[in-house]
Structure 1
Amino acid sequence: MKILLVGEYSRLHNSLKEGLVALGHEVTIIASGDGFKNYDVDIDISSKLKNVRLFSFLNKIFTRLFKLNFIAVENAYRFKKQLPKLKNYDVVQLINEDALHINPKQQIRLLKQLKTQNKKLFLLCCGDDYITIKYYLQNTIKYSILTPYLEDKSLKGKYDYSLKYLSDSYKKLHDFIIKNSYGTIATDIDYHLPMQSHQHYLGLIPNPINIDSINYHSLSTKGKIVIFHGINKLSKIKKGNIYFEKALTIIKSKHPDKVTILSSENVPYKTYINTYNSAHIILDQVFGFDQGYNALEAMAKGKVVFTGAEKEWLDYYNIEANTIAINALPDVDYLAQKLEWLILNPNQIETISKNARAFVVKNHDYKTIAKQYVQTWKNA
């Protein structure tokens, strides 16, 4: 098959491509690289002007005052320039409803042309979109990325990116994609829950992880326990990083001789994954039911990850709590207690490390996941 993957947020499409190529398919990724994360792409449509500090500053002012985003305009221009080459693909898959990061009205026009010159169009649900945000706003589940906003409406400005999907223009974009695609695929439990009652939903296919390129390293717990906390400033509130920061303060004061704490903020993907190589424990996110891509890669390396590991996830994979990953909750004392439990019982770190790697190999192997995608695309 000839496959076009549009957009990249978390290296999901890169790993999927690697699995598909291993199966003999021809795959192209067209994307912007997702800002500072700088993911690999085959066709780069990222803005070049955004790297000019003065222009980037002026663009923020124009966007705020006049709703005119010159970086988005440039992204649109770069994608449109590539459109004549993006033909005769058997499958086109969008990473998100806003895969191109441009004005919805213009995005519809470009996607309409993309669709007419290719065969099947599919959509991934692996981040914010109309259905997911609408579902989270109903506040019917234990928590979500919107929980901080639902508890404190003064945070609305921090949620502009998420809430934009409920605007009329993005609702039209959503409707267009649903009407013109063969269906939507969710990548984990956090997106499966909002999607499962919708007719166009094709089911959950777990995140693909290239286990052949990620080496497992057994963890020695003879010295200090190393804890790593990586922060993306844009999603800090949605991930619940503040709970981790406060829990780490408690741990530092109680066990200064037993732990080393590492942290990073807004670093490129390749820098990020190397920063935590020496860590035993990774603090990922609080407001999740399942693991995102970064957590799974860390688990594949054998790290003990504090992340989404809720009952729905346990039931889906038929596993026991705190044997594969530590379920992170928006509770500072709870997080501190779990960290202390691991620090004082390093044998648990070694056990969970082995279990985490085994879990990823069994449930997220990139070649097996690629086969699931191919089967879903063919059957749709």
Structure 2
Amino acid sequence: MAAGVAALGGSSAEFSGLSDAEVLAARGPIADLLRLSHTVAALLAGTIAERSRPQLGQSGLAARHGYGNPTLMVQHATGLSRIEAGRLLAIGVLMSETEKAERRAVEVREAERRAVRATQAAAEAAAREAATAADAQRETEWQTAQWEAREADRAAVWAELNPDQPLPDAPLRPVLPVVAAVPAVPAVPAVPVVLVAPVVPVPVLQPVLQPVIIPWQAPIMHAVAAGAFSPGVGDALLRGLGTLDQAITADRLASALRVLLVDAPKMNTEQAFKRARRLRDELDAAGILAREKQARRYDVVALASGRRHGDPARTTTGGAGRNVDSNLRRPDQSAAWRGAVCRSGTGSVGEERQRRPTHARPDRRGFLHPTSQTRR
């Protein structure tokens, strides 16, 4: 792949000599090479993060080479910005965690299958032992019955022929292998009784297997590893969908992700983020209201903090002594304000700022500085 891209040319003049058809055909190999290089970079970043985890301390890979954290090491190696390096690192870590979780899940399933096979084998062995014991018991009972019948006939014949003489001792019958034998009572002809202990199946103790949870982001990692789209698009999808909370569960995000992955290979990072964010907002309508309330609460707290500390750089004095925090106005409010000013026809934004009152800065003697007076 790299050789094919390099064969296209190494200078602007060589690329200028390409025909339109060659230019169009060159887009695919170049895009594939970029996706492959970004995927490999994400995997490398994940490996750096694994070998630089906080548990290793100063013996971690990044610390041994003089980097405060793995993000700085990835940034130095790739030349990316710190934000881009952090996103690449996050994708790499998630790919590594997903792969480990899936391997662990396969191991758990295999262990469960082995445990089931062992249980079945133990049950079959117990059943065979029980059948053998039952056959031995039946054979013993039959031989005991035959022996008793012969002894009864012998006693009857002896009593008829020799009524005045005691019955001689009877010969012992052949004894089968016994599990437990009851000793003979004195002065009574010994009749060996064979007791066969019933076979009780011994349960096979199975190891307790902890359930393995596959991250809901696993389809994104599979698509990135397969080259369906770049790690940047994957990161945009993750940032757009957000994190779990009480209303948004992993199952709901996984269902939304399946919808996004249909068109994700055709989208760039901006389109992927907007599409994912719109889908998250549809899933979490109540969360939007909560976030807006939190943002308004932040504005109120910040405004009160500006009044309390009297920071002239953060507040401006309006009519009737009101303080207006222009620096903390949210982007949507600022855009609405600028649009209202432009539509009013009263002048440009710059002119409006000039007409707006500014904070008067006192000098050391307590008088207002003439350059900071309100311009009329």
Q: TM-score, normalised by structure 1?
A: 0.22
Structure number with greater Rg is: 2
The TM-score with structure 2 as length reference comes to 0.22
Query: Which structure dedicates a bigger proportion of its chain to helix?
Result: 2
More strand by share: 1
